[in-house]
Structure 1
């Protein structure tokens, strides 16, 4: 009982202390847009402007670069902070852990939880591996699906929870999904950033987790936040052949590079271009290189994964909201379903 009480009090404190992040509109004519993209996070590329997220403590620095920027929101997560801890239709971190354990127990030959570390505050970092003979399998064709890199993008977690259950429950009933389970290993990491997720904050201790990865020409960055550092080591250990990092929102399916508008080598570009267009065929998501679909993003996961081993590193922006009304969750899952199965098909076909 004492442990539970301490945990509850800790989570309440974390939510109360979540970072305040503002959003601004910056004209595309701003001469310092490249500098802004390096120092801050551009999250949306609109017809005439960009939407930029700025940590409250860095507002002065941003205003010096973009004095004509228009403030859109004083706090992008105000709505989440004002709600009670439980949001209808969405699962807490403790519930996510329980669901993973339930799936492991219900499908003991197909599912296995693997821990790869703990977060800065001691929260578990884990993946649910799904494959035939999960307890002893070591297949070459491995892929990783991740969500909640940004802790306020709650819809991403619900999508991965639904897809993992769907994959398991379809085994032996659906030939396509059965083949995926038989011939590959899929690792579902439901919460990359538990610190942010439990606080309903985009960041981890004031740092954007998806700007923490090294990129070509900048391999010697200081050690990233613990959850990202552990994930990078896990990726290298497993040598995944492909990955999808799910974010929200924008309806986009993208590939490297993010750190530069230069294109990857022609054969890989053709592969990625065909794959993402096919993934976006049903849901009509926009596809293309990260830096051209949104803008330059230095330190993103897809660049690191691709540079490490040339794997199929995909970044997806789901739906139109980070936390859509609970009645809309199923629709976003449906947008992701066929797209994800096509991606896993491509791993099996390697």
Structure 2
């Protein structure tokens, strides 16, 4: 028999006989003889690189920090001021002065920390009102007043200046006098009437309350009653189309003229100064607003070639407005009203609204503070009784 001895040393001959050899030791996992060899290689080449962990992608959500983000519909406007009143019940409340021709609420939000929102207004707390959107297609002021309601309430107790204002002032904000016009995107109300030509004027002096309300639109009638029933001291009415402040008179008795040999009062002449008895006060208040605006003080309007010295103008000197709300406030109540033209564009793009807020917020605040200027007090007789209807007399 031919036997073939296995190679590779798996068998070995012992005492003339083949026996299976012991299996060789398993090969070392390391190709290096000992640790010292590894250390030498580390010195030469450094440690082997570790696998990098996969970097987790951090998704940063974009936060829109603009204070005014969009235009509000009428329903959204009501919801917005209701939300403010709900969040700050001790500082504000929403009330209505009536309804428009189409039934939309003429809403006002009252803001004060004096207790007046709970029905008790302390003595010598001045009332101030801001109104907007009397022309339905002029929309910037509407959004500013919704934002201002939020700003005042959110900053109360945090900002010293705002806290002081609310502790001493009774503020009423009416974002829309003409909600129907806003809905239909028209200047006039649903009856096609310009509400800012629908108020009693100087020719109506001496008429009774009922006579003043005759043949008025529902919206202007509601504002007339509101003004006559409340002792507002100062008011701002917001418009768009220019950038300036104007003040009374918008219209008024001009120089007396003879017609058929009868002496008749004439209307104010357009382009000529129509100064009222408080002309200097109106100028100072107007400059106060313009000077605190981003650029109104320059007198230059970006969309018109006209310039206005320091950004203000007497009403009739600019153009005559017959039976306007501004003159009505001054003629028939204790309220000094300014007309503030906010923007060249009556309804700018929504993304521009926050810039308009930044342009005007300082002016809005400083005019709230200005209501405390001047003299205030209580007129008493020798027995300590109050005297209604007392008037100041200057020497």
- The corresponding residue for 1:290 is 315
Equivalent pair of 2:232/2:334 in contact (CA under 8 Å): no
Deviation sequence 1:164-191 (CA, Å, 0-9, x none): 1111111111122112111111111011
Contact 1:131–1:137 (CA<8 Å) still a contact in 2? no
Per the alignment, in what secondary structure is the counterpart of residue 275 of structure 2?
Answer: coil
Q: How many angstroms does 1:279 deviate by?
A: 1.3
Write the mapping of 1:93-242 to structure 2, written as runs, cut at 5 A. 93-132=74-113, 133=115, 134-139=117-122, 140-204=125-189, 205-219=191-205, 222-242=214-234
Instruction: Report the number of matched residues.
Output: 261
TM-score, normalized by length of structure 1? 0.71
The CA deviation at 1:262 is 5.0
Report Cα offsets for 1:151-171 as digits up to 9, x if no partner.
111222111111111111111
Residues 296/185 of structure 1: CA separation in 2 closer, same or farther (3 Å cut): same
> Looking at CA atoms only, which structure, 1 or 2, has the larger radius of gyration?
2
Residue 244 (structure 1) shift: 0.5
Shift of 1:312: 2.1
Q: Which moved more, 1:167-176 or 1:276-285?
A: 276-285
Residues of 2 paired with 1:335 and 1:148: CA distance?
A: 18
How far is the alpha carbon of 1:316 from its aligned partner? 0.5
> Which portions of structure 1, spanning 4 or more consecutive aligned residues, are displaced by more than 6 angstroms?
none
* Structure 1 contact 180–348 (Cα < 8 Å) conserved: no
Structure 1 unaligned residues grouped into runs of 5+:
1-87
Question: Distance between the aligned counterparts of 1:343 and 1:138, measured in 2?
Answer: 21
Residue 288 of structure 1 deviates from its aligned partner by 2.3
Deviates more, 1:118-127 or 1:228-237: 118-127
Question: Higher helix proportion, which one?
Answer: 1
Moved more, 142-151 or 117-126: 117-126
2:353 alignment partner, one of 312, 315, 329: 329
Partner Cα separation in structure 2 for residue 275 and residue 197 of structure 1: 29
Task: Give the aligned partner of residue 299 of structure 1.
Answer: 323
Partner in structure 1 of residue 288 of structure 2: 278
Q: Provide the secondary structure at the position in 1 that maps to 2:203.
A: coil
Superposed, 1:33-112 pairs within 5 Å as 89-112=70-93
TM-score (norm. length: structure 2): 0.63
C-alpha RMSD of the superposition: 1.7
Supply the distance in 2 between the matched residues of 1:279 and 1:148 (Cα, whole angstroms): 19
Q: Secondary structure at the match of 1:348?
A: coil
SS at match of 1:217: helix
> 1:120 Cα shift?
1.8
Instruction: Give, in whole Å, the separation in 1 of the partners of 2:233 and 2:337.
Output: 8
